[in-house]
Amino acid sequence: MRRYLRMVSGTENVIHELSSVGNRYRDDWGLVVSAWIVRSPPSWRCLSIFREHIGTRACKLFRRPLANSLRIARDSSPILTESPMTASIRRATSLRPGQFKHLIRVASVTGRLPERDVMLLWLTHTTGVRVTKLALLEVADVLYPSGAIKPEVYLRAEITKGCRPRNVYLTHPRCLAALEGWISVRLRRRWGLSGIEEYRGLRPGSKLVTTHKGQAFELAFKHRQLDSGPEVYRACDSLQQTISRLYRQAGIKQGSSHSGRRSLAAKVLAATGEVETVQTILGHAYLDHSKPYLTVDQATIRHAFAIALA
């Protein structure tokens, strides 16, 4: 009993010290201490720890998960909350030519399907197509019935972001060679054969990109909150992880499926100097959407200074 009275008197001293914190936190502190008193009497160790967080360290106490358990009202909000906007957004890195060559070399000798991996890298870096659109591309989108590769690929509205159809162009020789190599692998492993000569014997409705078992990549439904309201969309996380693994194997930090889009945007901006062209190639509805993709290297900046000051 004597020990309990000493602890109650110690609690009264804590309340007296809490009252000096200020009007801003007085109600909240009283709420916490009242809940603390209702509980079983704490040990002297807990009491000393509680005293250490008075004053200047008061805010840090409520950042801990313990503060949520001390709330009495179920519908009361936390005293201090972290803003979701404070977290920095990690953007995919833009590759230099030397980095991309190293990436291709590593991808060509690693993995279960190096031919497919090399094709994925060339397609993302030369067309800027998103990874989910790659998973939805069909054989008929890339090949003519005669079996020739289309120089211009039409991305249908049902597979594009925002249902905005656009065209991408297969003009790079290395990209075309990578496509030929991947088609040869599919024919050799007899993945998605139709039994007819059209489309090189492949089913026109089969997906162009497959897993290491010859099956199509699955898409997951996701939800996000926009200013206009909630939106449901599909994303191919498995293919995105496959491409991100290629960058990790090459030792490239922050490399992802969007690195190809950012690298292509930087090259187009350096070659043309027109942001509108970058917007069209990336398929953005607004010009502001293209700005996060734009990166200018130091050589381009030095060249611009030399031209301007000549």
Summarised one tens digit per residue, pLDDT across range 18-37 is 445 444 444 444 444 444 44
In a domain, 305, yes or no: no
For residues 296-308, average pLDDT: 58
161 and 80 share a domain? no
Last residue of a domain, one of 61, 86, 111: 86
262 and 189 share a domain? yes
Going by pLDDT thresholds of 50, 70 and 90, the confidence category of residue 102 is: very high
Last residue of a domain, one of 86, 108, 135: 86
Give the Cα separation of 207 and 215 in Å (integer). 8
Judge contact between 21 and 54, C-beta under 8 A: yes
Over the chain, what HEC string results? Answer: CHHHHHHHHHHHHHHHHHCCCCHHHHHHHHHHHHHHHHCCCCCHHHHHHHHHCCHHHHHHHHCCCHHHHCCCCCCCCCCCCCCHHHCCCCCCCCCCHHHHHHHHHHHCCCCCCHHHHHHHHHHHHHHCCCHHHHHHCEHHHHECCCCCECCEEEECHHHCHHHCCEEEECCCHHHHHHHHHHHHHHHHHCCCECCCCHHHHECCCCECCECCCCCECCCEEEEEEECCEEEEEEECHHHHHHHHHHHHHCCCCCCCCCHHHHHHHHHHHHHHCCHHHHHHHHCCCCHHHCHHHCCCCHHHHHHHHHHHCC
Instruction: Give yes or no for residue 210 having a pLDDT over 50.
Output: yes
What CATH number does the domain containing 290 carry? Answer: 1.10.443.10
Summarised one tens digit per residue, pLDDT across range 172-205 is 999 999 999 999 999 999 999 998 999 999 999 9
- For 135, phi then psi, to 5°, come to -70, -25
Last residue of a domain, one of 86, 108, 141: 86
Between 298 and 250, the more confident residue is: 250
In a domain, 306, yes or no: no
120 and 58 share a domain? no
In a domain, 23, yes or no: yes
Instruction: Give yes or no for residue 209 having a pLDDT over 70.
Output: yes
Summarised one tens digit per residue, pLDDT across range 147-176 is 999 999 998 878 777 667 888 889 999 999
Per-residue pLDDT, 62? 37
In a domain, 212, yes or no: yes
259 and 166 share a domain? yes
Per-residue pLDDT, 292? 52
Going by pLDDT thresholds of 50, 70 and 90, the confidence category of residue 279 is: low
Residue-range definition of the domain harbouring residue 10: 2-86
Per-residue pLDDT, 207? 96
In a domain, 163, yes or no: yes
In a domain, 25, yes or no: yes
122 and 61 share a domain? no
Summarised one tens digit per residue, pLDDT across range 235-274 is 899 999 999 999 999 999 888 887 888 888 777 766 676 6
